[in-house]
Amino acid sequence: MKLIAQLLCAAALVAPMVSAHANTAAPEVKVSKPDLAKGEASYGAVCAACHGADGNSGTPAYPKLSQQHPEYLIKQLQEFKSDKRNNAVMKGFAAALSDEDMKNIAYWVTAKKGKPGFAKEKELVGLGERIYRGGIADRQVPACAGCHSPNGAGIPSQYPRLSGQHAEYASAQLVAFRDGVRKNSLQMTQIAAKMNDREIKAVSDYIAGLR
């Protein structure tokens, strides 16, 4: 009886402690939603002159941003700001933006519908398609479609949308990865390092016509 009484006493002491722990909820983490009105205003003031009023840049040197994954755009802006991605012009713009500004801009512009592009190099588009869909086996260059999807839509939060992107811009980025100028993706640096100018031009032209 004495042992039973001791056990009951111990249980009575432990129960409130267990109950207290059970009722202690983890602190709620509030994630603010993007402010699209502010995003539109910031985009118009900072980005539209180069990237177009709706993210459909008309200048091949500047990428199209419409329908891009917002997480990708936020990452690029943060890396321009931190110098992980080296571009003096973009650093100047990104340096003036807060994380909230970047999120607002990214979610606003990516909601805009992208205008389709088209391939221009008829003699190269076949080569570009083979590389995009099948890679270059003898140099262990993987198919672009494996990460960026067969139609160039990409994978949200992981790989950017390529569909309809200016061939000139895509080509310039692949060359920058290959030559060590752009250093914010080891994976792309390793892939581009195995490609020659003709292959880069071909796959970039093919990407422009994806839809």
Q: Which domains does the chain have, with CATH numbers?
A: 36-110 (1.10.760.10), 122-208 (1.10.760.10)
Q: Which residue has the tokens 């390529």?
A: 162
Share of the chain above pLDDT 70, in %: 85
The two tokens of residue 88 are 């003096």
- Considering the chain, what is the average pLDDT of its residues? 89
* Residues 6-13, mean pLDDT to the nearest whole number: 42
Q: State the pLDDT at residue 7.
A: 38
Task: Quickly list H helices, 70-149.
Answer: 70-82, 88-94, 99-110, 122-134, 145-148
Helices (runs of H) and strands (runs of E) counted in the chain: 11, 0
Banded pLDDT at 4 (limits 50, 70, 90): very low
* Residues 76-86, mean pLDDT to the nearest whole number: 97
Banded pLDDT at 77 (limits 50, 70, 90): very high
- 39-48 pLDDT, tens digit per residue, is 999 999 999 9
* Residues 52-79, mean pLDDT to the nearest whole number: 98
Q: Which residue has the higher pLDDT, 1 or 31?
A: 31
- 175-195 pLDDT, tens digit per residue, is 999 999 999 999 999 999 999
Q: State the pLDDT at residue 81.
A: 98
Q: State the pLDDT at residue 11.
A: 43
Asked if residues 211 and 163 have their Cβ atoms less than 8 Å apart, the reply is yes
Q: How far apart are CA 159 and CA 194, in angstroms?
A: 20
Q: State the pLDDT at residue 13.
A: 43
| Nearest C-alpha neighbor of 124 from the set 200, 211, 210 | 200
- 131-142 pLDDT, tens digit per residue, is 999 999 999 999
What is the per-residue DSSP string for 131-150?
A: HHHH-BGGGTBPPTHHHH-T
For the entire predicted model, the pTM comes to: 0.84
* Residues 121-145, mean pLDDT to the nearest whole number: 96
